[in-house]
Structure 1
Amino acid sequence: MPNAKVLSEKQAIVAQLTEKIQNATAGVLVDYKGITVEEDTALRKECRENDVHYAVVKNTLLRFAFNNTGLSELDDLLNGTTSLALCSDPVAPARVMADYAKKLNGKFEIKGGFMDGKPVDLDTINSLASIPPLPILQAQVLGTMLAPITGLAVVLKQIAEKNGAPAEAAEEAPAAE
């Protein structure tokens, strides 16, 4: 039986883990067995750049935290070496971990994860990982919105030039009412 001090420290860790899991929109469980210190340092740097909280966690403590948050279905994944990536962005932890798993090819393996308080399988995590980052998505939407306007401007310029007026003169001419 562990002494009271050790037990209270572990309970505090479980409480912190529970709070982090509840506040996170998504999380990914990873088996990190076999990665080097340099690879781990690079992964942690990439996680910081993407606002992903990454930590190596004892399976027993994580099991208690998952049970506290209603994610007990993930208990089966808690064997071997386990690390947890959490974030408020539902796509970021999946993308960072999947990219890293591809780079390390076998040394770093995604076990599973959760999103919005529900467990998700490996296929869902890989699907999330294939979604581009938010700034790229915003640029694509903006480009899609501007395309018709740009096309209209090009057509109007060509019509004005076809009618014999240079484009600059057509722009300066008052609109007929």
Structure 2
Amino acid sequence: MTKEEKSVVIDSLAEQLQTYPHFYIADIEALNAGQTAALRRKCFESDVKLVVVKNTLFTKALEKVEKADADLVKVLEGPTSIMFTNVAKAPAVLIKEFRKTSDKPVLKAAFAEGCVYVGDNQLEALCNIKSKEELVADIVALLQSPAKNVISALQGSAGQKIAGLVKTLESRNN
């Protein structure tokens, strides 16, 4: 591969690192052609972009976009594939589902929701990760809950009692 070709690959990877907020580094070695095709199909269906990369070129792309975390660079050994995604937990769910029929892919590391996860043992945590939007929705629901309870009480029989108490207090003041 010439220097110009390497530069094009590095620029392409850097562009994808900037386009997609989350990425997973996985080992898909030893998957046969049929399994690899099935994995690629599942990735396409889940809106996950799967790319096989050379470790040195990916390291340079990480450095270019200033995401070269020491833990991420450390796992770049042996065959490496990158799963780019807009939804943080999509690749984790995909890997977990795919491993019901195969030992691979093995998670090396992930960059999700601004955090670095290293090792295959982090797969379950990544499956349960919530997006920023999901967390905001949970907080809004929690904040609305007490207000809904008060409104419900006011609309029900308790509300009639409260209204009666207010009328009684008003009549005493007059």
TM-score, L = length of structure 1: 0.66
Is the 1:112–1:125 contact (alpha carbons within 8 Å) kept by the matching residues of 2? no
SS at match of 1:36: helix
Q: Which range moves more in the overlay, 127-136 or 141-150?
A: 127-136
What is the aligned residue count? 156
Q: Percent identity?
A: 21
Contact 2:14 2:62 in 1 (8 A): yes
SS at match of 1:80: coil
How far apart are 1:25 and its partner, in Å?
A: 3.7
Shift of 1:24: 4.8
**Paired AA for residue 45 in structure 1:** E
Q: CA deviation at 1:86?
A: 3.3
Q: Does 1:97 align with 2:91?
A: yes
Determine if the alignment matches structure 1 residue 110 to structure 2 residue 107.
Answer: yes
Amino acid aligned to 1:13: V
Amino acid in structure 2 at the alignment position of 1:76 = K
Residue 113 (structure 1) shift: 3.0
What is the distance in 1 between the residues matched to 2:68 and 2:126?
Answer: 20
Which amino acid counterpart does residue 41 of structure 1 have in structure 2?
R
User: 2 CA distance for matches of 1:119 and 1:19?
Assistant: 20
Residue 28 (structure 2) pairs with residue 28 (structure 1): no
How far does residue 55 in structure 1 lie from its aligned partner after superposition? 1.9
CA deviation map 1:129-152 (0-9, x unaligned): 412345544443332222112211
Choose 36-45 or 69-78, whichever is displaced more. 69-78
* Partner in structure 2 of residue 77 of structure 1: 75
Question: After TM superposition, where is structure 1 displaced by more than 6 Å over at least 4 residues in a row?
Answer: none
Aligned to 1:170: none
Work out the CA distance in 2 between the residues paired with 1:70 and 1:39. 26
RMSD of equivalent CA atoms: 3.5
Residue 151 of structure 2 is matched in structure 1 by 153
Partner of 2:128: 130
| Uncovered stretches (5+) of structure 2, i.e. residues with no partner | none
Q: TM-score, normalized by length of structure 2?
A: 0.67
Q: Is the 8 A contact 2:52 2:82 kept in 1?
A: yes
What is the rounded CA distance, in whole Å, between the counterparts of 2:97 and 2:112 in structure 1?
Answer: 24
Contact 1:71–1:117 under 8 Å retained in 2: no
> Hey, what does 2:52 align to over in structure 1?
56
